[in-house]
């Protein structure tokens, strides 16, 4: 097993089983740029999980999606800084002062990414929440607020990449989950695109979970990602 490290891929290590987590770290860590640790793993194994992921040579993305008053978020970001992660997430809905507090607490050591509109949400979900506008319009507004707050980038649906790239310029990081191959079955993700389309539209980093971690042949999926230019 070999191949170049796929810098534009972040593998979402979402599992309840410690052994599986370790196996995914060894399998994907040397092959991709970033390993993503979310709440499911972090709440169980915390610091040791982050250390194991970092030990593979990949950067670690701590995806706990902070959304609280600015001082609480700043304290959480300070703790993440001690862990030595490279990326973390906050919700842009927490507002400008919350995002600014996160960026300041990151001290230039962690790239703060703002979540815009989660990729399982469609227009009717926003309507139910009494949030006017389509997901794309809302994502654009929230991404612009994140940029003004000093965030390094945003997490958005692949369908919003092109308009965000146009509006926010080449240096703002666009990180996109909701990546699916043409033949993958349906799950809870709704605003999705293929890896090639996401990269064409300007994704800096694609967050990919189940299409890799549940694949019968992960090597074949890594090869397909490499072929797509990841």
User: What are the residues facing 45 on neighbouring strands?
Assistant: none
The string of DSSP codes covering 2-42 is ----EEEEEEE---S-HHHHHHHHHHHTTTEEEEEE-HHHH
The string of DSSP codes covering 44-109 is HHHHHHHHHHHTTT-EEEEEEEE-S-HHHHHHHHHHHHHHT-SEEEEEGGG-HHHHHHHHHHHTTT
Minimum CB distance to ligand C5P smaller for 136 or for 211: 211
| Interface region with ligand C5P, contact rule CB under 6 A, candidates 43-51, 127-135, 136-144, 206-214 | 206-214
204 binds ligand C5P (CB under 6 A): no
Residue at shortest CB range from ligand C5P: 209
207 binds ligand C5P (CB under 6 A): yes
Minimum CB distance to ligand C5P smaller for 71 or for 187: 187
The only residue of 14, 100, 160, 204 in contact with ligand C5P, by rule CB under 6 A? 14
With CA atoms as reference, report the closest residue to 117 among 96, 99, 82, 93.
Answer: 93
| Contact track, ligand C5P, 18-57, x by CB under 6 A | --------------------x-------------------
Tokens 């230019």 locate to 229
Minimum CB distance to ligand C5P smaller for 119 or for 152: 119
Near ligand C5P in 97-126, by CB under 6 A: 115, 118-119
Closest approach, Cβ 210 to ligand C5P, in A, equals 3
Minimum CB distance to ligand C5P smaller for 16 or for 108: 16
210 binds ligand C5P (CB under 6 A): yes
202 binds ligand C5P (CB under 6 A): no
Supply the Cα-derived Rg of the chain in whole angstroms: 17
Closest approach, Cβ 166 to ligand C5P, in A, equals 20
Q: How far is CA 182 from CA 186, 197, 224, in A?
A: 10, 11, 12
Pick the catalytic residue from 18, 44, 65, 96.
65
Phi and psi angles of residue 148, each rounded to the nearest 5 degrees, phi first: -60, -30
Near ligand C5P in 119-178, by CB under 6 A: 119, 155, 177
The span from the CA of 82 to the CA of 210, in Å, is 29
Measure the CA angle with vertex 134, ends 131 and 137; round to 5°: 100
**What six digits make up the tokens of 2?**
């070999």
Is 65 in the active site?
A: yes
Residue ranges that bind ligand C5P, judged by CB under 6 A: 12, 14, 38, 115, 118-119, 155, 177, 189, 207-211
Active site residues: 65
């Amino acid at each position: 097993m070999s191949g170049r490290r796929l810098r534009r891929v972040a593998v979402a290590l979402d599992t309840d089983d410690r052994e599986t987590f370790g196996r995914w770290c060894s399998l994907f860590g040397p092959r991709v740029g970033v390993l993503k640790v979310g709440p499911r793993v972090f709440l169980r194994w915390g610091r040791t999980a982050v250390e194991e992921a970092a030990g593979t040579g990949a950067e670690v993305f701590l995806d706990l999606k902070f959304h609280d008053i600015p001082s609480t978020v700043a304290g959480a970001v300070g703790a993440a800084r001690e862990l030595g992660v490279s990326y973390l997430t906050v919700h842009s809905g927490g507002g400008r002062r919350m995002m600014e507090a996160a960026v300041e607490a990151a001290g230039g050591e962690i790239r703060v990414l703002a979540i815009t509109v989660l990729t399982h949400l469609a227009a009717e979900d926003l309507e139910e929440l009494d949030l006017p506008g389509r997901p794309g319009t809302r994502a654009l507004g929230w991404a612009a607020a994140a940029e003004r707050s000093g965030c390094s980038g945003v997490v958005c649906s692949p369908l919003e990449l092109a308009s965000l790239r146009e509006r926010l310029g080449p240096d703002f990081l666009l990180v996109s989950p909701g990546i699916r191959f043409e033949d993958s079955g349906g799950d809870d993700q709704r605003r999705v695109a293929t890896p090639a389309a996401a990269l064409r539209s300007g994704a800096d980093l694609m967050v990919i979970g189940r299409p890799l971690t549940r694949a019968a042949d992960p090597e074949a999926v890594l090869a397909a990602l490499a072929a797509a230019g990841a």
